[in-house]
């Protein structure tokens, strides 16, 4: 059955419409047979792009300061797809020691199975000269580290990598909306749009943003061969989140600093890890590479034992236990850095607590923290 086509009269909605489609129609046989020519800019099949997903890609590229963007199903997919595009058997990849745990697992397990050599360099590095090899094709950065908040000297490392013929990738999920990493030599920004971009903890999506057209075409071609794509409904939700990104980021950052200052005054706190905080070890690099912070705050308590910290976390009312971050909801999570590090600096059995400061009433959040510290202090 064929349905009537609606009027072509103008319909100018303020939001980008949701274009749901798998099949795309062609005017004639020649257009159909040449449909692969539309991969980069046109429309050939819903998996490879719709007006909704293309609008999201253009918006993300603008936020990142890049040339073109490819949206994929998750932040991890953004990293894995970009790396797979660049690497071949016999290639060498360098990665910051603080990369996301699933990124590390992909490098150590999947990439090594493909014959790719992998090494890690110190999380707070200012140079990778001693780690580069003739076959190094990619350097993977993550600044700040997702639990421990180290910031690499991005520009210096990018210069060294480029001199060696390697591409520089950045997991820019933390800095999305508050950085322009391409200005500092990064070639590919891999971002979890699930975080602050979408902003409501209800969406999994990632973005691969690049600095030049040739690299875009290379990655887009590879991603299409993998069959990766996103739905127009999810793209619409990400676009809706982007419309309030800067307002939300500013409030999360304000609250993150306020809670950091409060935590520093507590006797049970040994150290607050927040590079936006003056006095933080990485604050000077933060000022160089980022225009603003956000709501992520990691804490080293004087009692870093798992059972004591669990007693604190398990009783929270406002700070719910969960992975990810970036929504209006406050979250807390626990991590033991040592097993996932090559270069040391962390003791086995030593835990970091990471808070995401959401948008609930501040006094309710502070009271939740006070009660949590009482549980921690009275443990055992």
Name the nearest CA neighbour of 299 among 217, 253, 354, 230: 354
DSSP-based three-state secondary structure for 68: strand
Lowest mean pLDDT segment, chosen from 41-45, 89-93, 135-139 = 41-45
Phi then psi for 228, rounded to 5 degrees?
-95, 135
The structural domains of the chain, ordered by start, are 29-242 (3.40.640.10), 245-377 (3.90.1150.10)
Residue 2: how many other CB atoms lie within 10 Å = 4
* Residues contacting 157, CB < 8 A, separation 6+: 125, 126, 127, 128, 139, 141, 168, 185
Query: Which band of pLDDT confidence, cut at 50, 70 and 90, is reported for residue 310?
Result: very high
Q: Do residues 276 and 240 lie in contact, with contact meaning Cβ atoms separated by under 8 Å?
A: no
Residue 353 in tokens: 């607590």
pLDDT in tens, 318-349: 999 999 999 999 999 999 999 999 998 899 99
pLDDT in tens, 63-107: 999 999 999 999 999 999 999 999 999 999 999 999 999 999 999
| pTM of the complete model | 0.95
């Amino acid at each position: 059955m064929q349905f009537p086509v609606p009027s072509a009269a103008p319909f100018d909605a303020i939001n980008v419409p949701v274009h749901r489609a798998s099949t795309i129609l062609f005017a004639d046989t020649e257009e159909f047979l040449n449909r692969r020519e539309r991969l980069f800019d046109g429309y050939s099949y819903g998996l490879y792009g719709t007006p909704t997903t293309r609008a999201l890609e253009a918006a993300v590229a603008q936020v990142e300061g890049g040339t073109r963007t490819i949206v994929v199903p998750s932040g991890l997919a953004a990293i894995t797809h970009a790396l797979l595009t660049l690497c071949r058997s016999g290639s060498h990849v360098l990665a910051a020691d603080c990369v996301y745990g699933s990124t590390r697992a992909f490098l150590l397990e999947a990439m090594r199975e493909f014959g790719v050599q992998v090494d890690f360099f110190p999380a707070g590095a200012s140079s990778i000269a001693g780690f580069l090899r003739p076959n190094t094709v990619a350097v993977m950065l993550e600044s700040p580290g997702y639990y421990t908040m180290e910031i690499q000297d991005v520009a210096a490392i990018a210069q060294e990598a480029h001199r060696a013929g390697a591409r520089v990738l950045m997991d820019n999920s933390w800095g999305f909306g508050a950085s322009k990493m391409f200005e500092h030599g990064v070639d590919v920004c891999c971002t979890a749009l699930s975080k602050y971009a979408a902003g409501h903890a209800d969406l999994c999506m990632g973005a691969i943003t690049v600095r030049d057209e040739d690299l875009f075409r290379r990655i887009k071609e590879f991603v299409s061969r993998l069959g990766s794509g996103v739905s127009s409904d999810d793209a619409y939700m990400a676009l809706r989140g982007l419309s309030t990104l800067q307002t939300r980021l500013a409030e999360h950052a304000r609250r993150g600093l306020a809670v950091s200052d409060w935590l520093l005054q507590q006797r049970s706190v040994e150290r607050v890890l927040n590079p936006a905080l003056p006095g933080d070890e990485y604050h000077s690099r933060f000022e160089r590479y980022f225009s603003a912070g956000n709501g992520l705050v990691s804490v080293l308590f004087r009692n870093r034992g798992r059972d004591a910290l669990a007693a604190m976390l398990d009783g929270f009312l406002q700070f719910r236990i969960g992975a990810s971050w970036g929504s209006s909801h406050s979250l807390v999570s626990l991590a033991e850095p040592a097993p996932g590090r090559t270069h040391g600096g962390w003791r086995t059995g030593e835990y970091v607590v990471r808070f995401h400061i959401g948008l609930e009433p501040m006094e309710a959040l502070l009271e939740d923290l006070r009660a949590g510290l009482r549980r921690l202090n009275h443990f055992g």
